[in-house]
């Protein structure tokens, strides 16, 4: 019934990389999220961006930028351990594939207790400039489980 969902983190890489000590608001303003399953934020903020995912199906996170000479890598996906929050995945940290344009993929657990629940999580990502120099950042969106 469900399908694999791809979540894209698009980053204004050159402007974010140039900031010497960006606040979380600066980071959020330099980023946007989208997915191939009508994901959206009810109020326009990244922390309220909600992707609908499906039991026993993969979720893939990709980093994207339109800035020449820069790339965005998904370093890891971390489940935030809130007491009311169920982890949708078998591991707390989903490691990225590594490199300048790494991504992360994990399968949602096949657990009917997750249906209609929300999972707050952290996307840890790096912006790479020319060469191999990089800076690391994070954002905190949400997932919603569907059968």
Number of domains in the chain: 1
- Per-residue pLDDT at 147 exceeds 80: yes
Per-residue model confidence as pLDDT tens digits over 60-103: 999 999 999 999 999 999 987 765 677 899 999 999 999 999 99
| SS3 assignment for the chain | CCCCEEEEEEECHHHHHHCCCCCHHHHHHCEEEEECCCCEECCCCHHHEEEEEECCCEEEEEEECCCCCCEEEEEEEEECCCCCCCCCCCCCEEECCCCCCCCEEEECCCCHHHCCCEEEEEEEEEEECCCCCEEEEEECCEEEEEC
Q: Quick one: what percent of the chain has pLDDT higher than 70?
A: 97
Residue 90 lies in domain: 5-146
Q: What is the pLDDT of residue 83?
A: 59
User: Which candidate, 90, 84, 73, 81, places its Cα nearest to that of 121?
Assistant: 81
Q: What is the pLDDT of residue 80?
A: 74
Per-residue model confidence as pLDDT tens digits over 11-29: 999 999 999 999 999 999 9
CATH of the domain at 24: 2.60.40.3910
**Tokens linked to 65:** 């930028």
- Per-residue pLDDT at 132 exceeds 90: no
| Alpha-carbon span 82 to 5, nearest angstrom | 24
């Amino acid at each position: 019934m469900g399908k694999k969902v791809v979540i894209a983190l698009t980053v204004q890489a050159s402007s974010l990389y140039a900031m010497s000590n960006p606040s979380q608001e600066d980071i959020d303003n330099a980023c946007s999220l989208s997915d191939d399953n009508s994901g959206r934020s009810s109020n326009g903020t990244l922390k309220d961006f909600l992707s609908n995912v499906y039991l026993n199906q993969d979720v893939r996170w990709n980093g994207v930028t339109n800035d020449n000479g820069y790339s965005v890598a998904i370093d890891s996906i971390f489940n935030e351990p809130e007491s009311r929050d169920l982890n949708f995945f078998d591991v707390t940290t989903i490691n990225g594939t590594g490199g300048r344009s790494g991504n992360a993929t994990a399968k949602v657990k096949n657990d009917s207790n997750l249906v209609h629940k929300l999972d707050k999580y952290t996307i840890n990502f790096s912006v790479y400039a020319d060469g191999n120099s990089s800076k690391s950042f994070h954002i905190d969106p949400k997932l919603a489980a569907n059968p």
